[in-house]
Amino acid sequence: MSLENLKGLNNLNKASVEQATHRFMQCCTSNGWVNAMVAARPYADERSLNEHADAAWQALGEVDYLEAFEGHPQIGNVDTLRAKYANTKALASGEQSAVNEASEQVLQALAQGNADYLKKFGFIFIVCATGKSAAQMLALLEARLPNDKATELANAAEEQRKIFHLRLEKLL
C-alpha cells in the first residue's frame, strides 16, 4: 500500500460516522453496504477494506442491489451519450490502440438498448465502463440482453462490485 493510500485509509478510519457514511456512499449507494462498511472500521489495510467490501456486498440481497443500481445515472438519451463519448479520441490518445469516437448509429443503438434493458429487467444496465468505448458498451449490452432476470441481476451485481472497488481505490 502506498503512503498516500495509507494516509487515506487512516483518514477513513478516523472519520466520523457521518463522514465515513458520505465517503462510502460515493462508492456505492446501497445503505446496507454502506452501513456494513462504516461499522467494520477500522480497517487494518487496503486488503482488509476490499475483503470486507466484497463480504458485505455478497451478504446483501436483491433489494440492496437495486438500491445500489439506482445510484447510477441511466444512459438513456442520445444527448447524454453524445456528451459522454464526445472526446473518446482525446482520452484514448495515450493508449496503444486509439478508440474511435462513437458514431451516431452506435449512440442511437446504445440508447435503444438501454431502454430495452430497463423495460425487460426493471433496472438500468450496469457495467464497469472504465476504459470502454461506446461500441464496446453496446456489444456488452447486446450480449447481456437475452439473459433471464436472475442471471442479469447477478451480472449487474458483479459489475457494481467492480465499480465500488475502483471507487474505493480513488477514495484512498
Q: Is residue 165 annotated as a catalytic residue, yes or no?
A: no
H helices within the chain, ranges in order?
3-14, 17-25, 31-39, 46-58, 62-69, 78-84, 88-91, 104-121, 134-144, 149-171
Among 30, 42, 37, smallest CA distance to 56 is for 37
Catalytic residue among 22, 52, 72, 165: 72
Catalytic residues: 72
